[in-house]
Structure 1
Amino acid sequence: MSRYEELEAFVRTIESGSFTAAAKQLRVAKSAISRRISELEARLGTQLIIRTTRKLSLTESGQALFQRATMLLSDWEEAEGAASQSAKDLSGRIRIAAPLSFGISYLGAAIIDFTKNHPDVSFDIDFSDRKVDLVAEGMDLAVRIGDLPDSGLIARKVAPIRTVVTASPDYLKDKPAVKTPEDLQALSELRYSGRAKTVWTYKGPHGQSGTIELPSALTASNGDFLRDAAVAGLGVTIQPIFILCDAIDEGTLVELLPDYRWSDINAYAVYPPTRHLSVRVRAFVDFLVARYSGIPPWELEAKA
Structure 2
Amino acid sequence: MTSGQSRGAKALRFSTDGIPSNNRVHLWEHHNARALIALDIRTMDEQPLRAAEINLHLPSLKFASVRGSAQVVERSEAFIRRHPMNSVAVFFALEGEAFFYYQGGFEALRPGQAVIYDVDRPFMRGFSSGLREMVLTIPHEDYLEITGGRALTKPIVFDFRQEQSASRRAFTLARLVSDALAGSADAETTEAAALELLSAILVGDRSGTGACHLAAARCYIAGHLADVELDVAKVAAATGISERHLARLFNEAGSSPSAYILELRLELARRLLTDQAEAESPIAAVARRCGFSSQAYFARAYKTRYAVTPSAERKAALAQCGERLVLH
Q: TM-score, normalised by structure 1?
A: 0.26
Q: TM-score, normalised by structure 2?
A: 0.25
Name which one, 1 or 2, has greater alpha-carbon Rg. 1
Ranked by relative contact order (alpha carbons within 8 Å, sequence separation 6 or more), the top structure is: 1
